[in-house]
Structure 1
Amino acid sequence: MSASTITPWVIGNWKMNPVQAQAQQLLNEFKQLLQDHGIAEEKCHLGIAPTMLALSTVQAQLSDAVRPVYSVAQDVSRIAGTGAYTGEVSAELLLDAGIGYVLIGHSERREIFADNRDSLNAKVQNALNAGLKVIYCVGESLEQREAGQAEAVVLQQICDIAGVVAAEQWANIIVAYEPIWAIGTGKTASPEDAQAMHAKIREGLKQITSYGASMAILYGGSVKAENAVELAACPDINGALVGGASLNAQSFHQIALAFANTQ
């Protein structure tokens, strides 16, 4: 399978936004846009990652959309199962609630909340073993890029989880490349730079797993309607993990259209 035949994903990461009334309005607007200007499922998969508090509510509100829009958890516990772990939500609890996808390794989790190799490995292993699909985030800092270490850092982050992913489980992983210096800053890697990194990631995945050629690799980092068409045209960019622009229904829909139109 060539990268150009991979069905793209566009996932909105709402982060710690918005309040309930705004979330309801945002979803209603997005569902109406899908009703008026359809995006076929086979052209582009869609997902929304709200706060943990809103996951079930968002899932219920999306249940009557004209096409599937998946609810995605923003994180998962490094502890499996159930037990006396105040504040934690395990992979098994997410699956029991009907949630099938989870973000793991976002740079904000790594940098602000001290997720490291050991905790990320536990999260990835627990999620996959429970039956969740993982959107695994990787990316370099500005200092690492300026030092010429970007590719090595990103490939190492992928290699970090290789020891806990069974051969067949790679089919349940999506990689999201988000250069840390472009997240929420308004800066975006040029399409050429993004494509170059995605091609390196693809090359690295092919060396690790037989699924490497068919895995979706998403770009994140100030993706917006204005740059989505250029990014979507890159052969190894199979979708987007969208931050701030996903909080605007029109912008999020336009980004999804950009990637759907590549198929």
Structure 2
Amino acid sequence: MSGSTITPWVIGNWKMNPMQADASALLQDFKQLLNNQNIAEDSCHIGVAPVAIALSAVRDELKQANRKILTVAQDLSRKAGTGAYTGEISAELLKDSAIEFVLVGHSERREIFGDHPQIINEKVKNALNAGLGVIYCVGESLEQRESGQAEHVVLQQICDIAAVVQPAQWKSIVVAYEPIWAIGTGKTASPADAQAMHAKIREGLSQITPEGQQMAILYGGSVKPENAVELAACPDINGALVGGASLNAESFYQIAQAFANTK
């Protein structure tokens, strides 16, 4: 059984971009594209993940769109609640600011900032317990893929969080598969390779939770309008976590449209 009946998700991860004026212009352009030709909410969930200092401003800007667009946090603290944790933003503070979803486990957090499985588990647990949805990122390096370890690495990352996710909380998780070697490089896993990994992820999820067959699994790795339609046609690819292309309103719109139309 595939996830072909799942409503797709297209999430734009702005990473450490852009400046305020450019962010405002980008959102205005994207809203205008939706005004010209709307993408129905039931055909595609759409979200934007800005830098932390822009979360509230982006949230307020998106309220003016002609459809719901989620404001997604790029990360959260491993510490819950409030307290003396300089520079941190907890799940509860995000929830209090009307943020509904948060990215956890992005490869840049793992590779650059040292988010190992214990830290990631604490973040996932905090997010879910605070009532946030989690977009949980998994993926392998080029070395791991070339050595034949890709599936093992990715499935282990799925298993890593199983200890902290309660049975009913799996409904609040979206998985994003992002081969590290394809992020920001212009390289993309072939649709066949991406579908094979997504099918393997769904198989692994289904062994952990009955929700596995209905969980959205997104592809992230140099997604752009030129490859979106082909990726969207794959039965177990239920959307995209979009990096660089989400900084261009037209490109991001075309990707969302591709998934909305294909599914």
Q: TM-score range by the shorter chain?
A: over 0.9
Question: In structure 2, the residue corresponding to 1:157 is in which secondary structure?
Answer: helix
2: CA distance, partners of 1:85 / 1:73? 18
1: CA distance, partners of 2:262 / 2:223? 17
2: CA distance, partners of 1:225 / 1:246? 10
- For 2:134, the equivalent position in structure 1 comes to 134
- For 2:82, the equivalent position in structure 1 comes to 82
TM-superposed deviation, 1:37: 1.1
Give unmatched runs, 5+ long, in structure 2. Answer: none
CA displacement, residues 14-42 of structure 1 (integer Å, 9 cap, x when unaligned) = 00000000000000000000010110000
- For 2:257, the equivalent position in structure 1 comes to 257
2: CA distance, partners of 1:132 / 1:154? 23
- For 1:169, the equivalent position in structure 2 comes to 169
1: CA distance, partners of 2:201 / 2:158? 8
2: CA distance, partners of 1:215 / 1:32? 31
Moved over 3 A (4+): none
Identity %: 75
- For 1:233, the equivalent position in structure 2 comes to 233
TM-superposed deviation, 1:183: 0.2
Q: 5 Å matches for 1:241-252?
A: 241-252=241-252
Task: Indicate whether 1:36 and 2:41 are aligned.
Answer: no
CA displacement, residues 76-125 of structure 1 (integer Å, 9 cap, x when unaligned) = 00000000000000000000000010000000000000000110000000
2: CA distance, partners of 1:237 / 1:46? 15
Task: Indicate whether 1:145 and 2:121 are aligned.
Answer: no
In structure 1, give the amino acid aligned to 2:188. T
Over aligned residue pairs, what C-alpha RMSD do you find? 0.7
CA displacement, residues 118-150 of structure 1 (integer Å, 9 cap, x when unaligned) = 100000000000000000000000000000000
Q: 5 Å matches for 1:1-263?
A: 2-263=2-263
Contact 2:223 2:245 in 1 (8 A): yes
In structure 1, give the amino acid aligned to 2:103. L
CA displacement, residues 134-171 of structure 1 (integer Å, 9 cap, x when unaligned) = 00000000000000000000000000000000000000
Give unmatched runs, 5+ long, in structure 1. Answer: none
In structure 2, give the amino acid aligned to 1:109. R
TM-superposed deviation, 1:262: 1.8
1: CA distance, partners of 2:133 / 2:29? 27
1: CA distance, partners of 2:96 / 2:90? 10
